[in-house]
């Protein structure tokens, strides 16, 4: 795909990793202050953790958009080929009917057989994974800055 969409995705994922690390550091600082009995530092540290959590959520949204943008660009690039394929499929149906084939969509049997036999989705994901960024790490710690890490 285009270098721009790959760069956008790579940049978004790097920012996401930094945001996650910053939030985990902020949570660790809360735990350290609590264990050291520095309760006066907790409001400031909680505000920082709240901000890093918000930033992490924003970075997750941006990474998800970059991920979907990459795959959308690849999908759009195939539309002309799909138009050509539709014409070939329609022509095949007409020829099949003329030769006595009474099935509803003769092209579909050929297409399905080839699709199952030769398709490998993993080959598509050379630069960008098929699955988007994982939101579970953020959800696992969302709001713990209020009380401390589990």
The one-digit pLDDT tens for each residue of the chain (150 residues) are: 578 999 999 999 999 999 999 999 999 999 999 999 999 999 999 999 999 999 999 999 999 999 999 999 999 999 999 999 999 999 999 999 999 999 999 999 888 877 666 667 777 777 888 888 988 888 888 888 887 554
Nearest to 145 by CA among 16, 31, 21: 31
Report how many domains make up the chain. Answer: 1
Q: Which domain holds residue 133?
A: 3-146
The rounded distance, in Å, linking the Cα atoms of 94 and 131 is 39
Contact present, 50 and 145 (Cβ < 8 Å): yes
Burial (CB count within 10 angstroms: exposed 0-12, middle 13-18, buried 19+), residue 146: exposed
């Amino acid at each position: 795909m285009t270098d721009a969409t790959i760069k956008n995705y790579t940049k978004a994922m790097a920012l996401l990793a930094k945001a996650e690390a910053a939030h985990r550091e902020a949570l660790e600082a809360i735990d350290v202050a609590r264990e050291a009995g520095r309760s006066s530092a907790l409001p400031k540290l909680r505000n920082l953790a709240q901000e890093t959590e918000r930033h992490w959520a924003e970075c997750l949204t941006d990474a998800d958009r970059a991920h979907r943008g990459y795959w959308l660009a690849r999908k759009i690039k195939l539309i002309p080929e799909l138009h050509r394929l539709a014409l070939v499929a329609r022509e095949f149906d007409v020829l099949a009917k003329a030769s006595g084939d009474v099935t509803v969509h003769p092209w579909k049997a050929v297409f399905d057989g080839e699709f199952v036999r030769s398709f490998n989705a993993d080959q598509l994901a050379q630069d960008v994974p098929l699955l988007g960024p994982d939101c579970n790490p953020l959800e696992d710690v969302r709001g713990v800055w209020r009380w401390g890490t589990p």
